[in-house]
Structure 1
């Protein structure tokens, strides 16, 4: 791959010299990003996200219970929990019901209002860089589908880890980009690199580059799980690329599969996603780590 040939429109991809994830250059200004995520992201780019997630809560609760259980296994019991990029407070409300003391950070004014009305949650409306917890550090931090959006993922993750107590757990989820299935689709089906979207995704990780970044910042990887490899649908003929309706159909099939496995044998699903992660497959990378160094 020649990164300077991928994007056009004046954008390029370059490798981070230490962790080896891909980065978009030039990077949009901080003011541009703040305006995007405070006002536009849910109103313009994802106008149905809050409503749709709310309608699927039974499914998401089952998925999130796996994460909460694995984090509690590291921390010893539910404790003080922070969700960075909390959206409408869906995970926080579920974690609260399971005994965690919850706080959340969310830049979107629309999402913060939704969380307050729907779940009676008072989120910090703003950005991680502006957040200063008033009390002791957190036992667990959840960071899902956020790191790909930020200007400096190393500084962002370092700030998150600084708020985690030594021995605390952090769950980080990012898209698994430039993976083997995506590469097969681009070469065999002559598709563009649809996952490269420089307006929103400034950083492109895989399991190993995310693990390297966490390790460099003083965290020890404890577990890695994939999510369902959605690209399989394209290879089977259900081409959702550029088609939201077909994408919704594929998402429904994925949920149906996972619901059956969660109800019948949850550990089978967990182990399946561990094995896919070992192969570098899965639409997203999920890493569970423990903070080992004082910061």
Structure 2
């Protein structure tokens, strides 16, 4: 997949739901001001994660990273109200992210070693915006939406460029560092060489993927339907529909624990998607 035809690009952007428009850093200041005025509203969610040290939920949004307080209300982590796009928890209090400063531009790859309170720039500042990040096998896997590339790095500084394709999300096998999946307009595309090349996507079409255990690959479709694969994406079984319609993010914390963000909230399942409970409310602004 080394070309980016306009038709495929347009379809991929449509599949991206509201995320594509969210990547326009030009409206960041306006959204940040609204969020500050509202105080505790959260919208435009781009990533979810759980810190393994205390099992605290973290929500990466268009207006900063939030966590539920004692009352379950969203509390800003640190001082940054930048637009966080790609986001992943790599370990205890260790997060990687990307996105846009409120002043505009691209953050490249940034890292926090204190659970999101402060961030440092690692590489590609001003050059790249990663819409999807995954950490596995001691490696950061990213989808660089600015350049349409799957890229990998072990030290956060030196990058290896992989395939060029139109994608929304990526997921890496927890067993095999070479097996990478990507959500495309055609369906789930597969790479067997660490993202250097992908075969054409196959249905079902998913918006987001998350792969936390060998036999528990999860995908969420554009209507909020949650699907599970026990064979690495060869076959899928629909297990549930998350409340709130169109999805904004999906993270599997374990084989049975799933976090999903939709238009109305962040929902959590501890039974493989059979039931979901709301963890955080989302206020939809109607447009991005």
TM-score w.r.t. length of structure 2: 0.32
Higher relative contact order (CA 8 A, sep 6+): 1
> Counting helix residues as a fraction of each chain, which structure ranks higher?
1
> Counting strand residues as a fraction of each chain, which structure ranks higher?
2
